[in-house]
């Protein structure tokens, strides 16, 4: 899944604070739906951006790539280093739209908690 801002920005670090607050809410909502709908999958979240001082790519638009890990690696993936997504994007979008968004914030039991050792744990 890609999360793309409405306003064109070539670099994530040029995003306005009020836009970051909205982005945080979108990410929270998507992760909550993934938690409930996909049984708390592992996932990767990647911010695709360019350096602030890079002026050679003015048309680049930063985005966040959110990739739930819901399938196991098999022969093709292990042999090629590439991953296959067997779910069409239209079905994935419908699944997220139809998943219950939850009311308000995630329950504390669903949120990671930092310990004094800096390790993330579930309460």
**Residues 75-108 as b or e (16 or more Cβ within 10 Å = b):** eeeeeeeeeeeeeeeeeeeeebeebeeeeeeeee
Domain segments of the chain as ranges: 2-100
Q: What pLDDT is stored for residue 102 in this prediction? A: 60
> pTM of the predicted model, to two decimals?
0.66
Q: Which of 83, 96, 86 is nearest to 44 (CA)?
A: 83
Tens place of pLDDT per residue across the chain (123 aa): 889 988 888 899 989 999 999 999 999 999 998 888 888 888 989 999 998 888 888 889 999 998 888 777 778 877 887 777 777 888 888 887 887 766 444 443 333 333 344 444 333
Which class is 2-100 in CATH? alpha beta
DSSP codes joined into one string, the chain: -EE--SS--S-GGG--HHHHHHHHHHHHHHHHHHHHHTTS-EEEEEEE---TT--S-TT---EEEEEEE-S---HHHHHHS-----S-HHHHHHHHHHS---SSSPPGGGSEEE-TTS-EEE-
Q: What pLDDT is stored for residue 7 in this prediction? A: 87
Cα 97 to chain centroid, rounded: 15
């Amino acid at each position: 899944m890609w999360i793309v801002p409405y306003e064109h920005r070539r670099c994530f670090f040029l995003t306005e604070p009020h836009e970051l607050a909205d982005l945080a809410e979108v990410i929270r909502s998507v992760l909550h739906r993934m938690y409930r709908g996909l049984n708390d999958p592992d996932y990767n979240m990647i911010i695709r951006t360019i350096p602030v001082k890079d002026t050679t790519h003015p048309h680049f638009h930063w985005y966040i790539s959110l990739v739930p890990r819901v399938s196991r690696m098999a022969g093709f993936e292990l042999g090629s280093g590439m991953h296959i997504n067997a779910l069409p994007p239209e079905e994935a979008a419908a699944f997220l739209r139809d998943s219950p968004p939850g009311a308000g914030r995630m329950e504390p039991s669903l949120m990671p908690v930092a310990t004094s050792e800096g390790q993330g744990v579930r309460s």
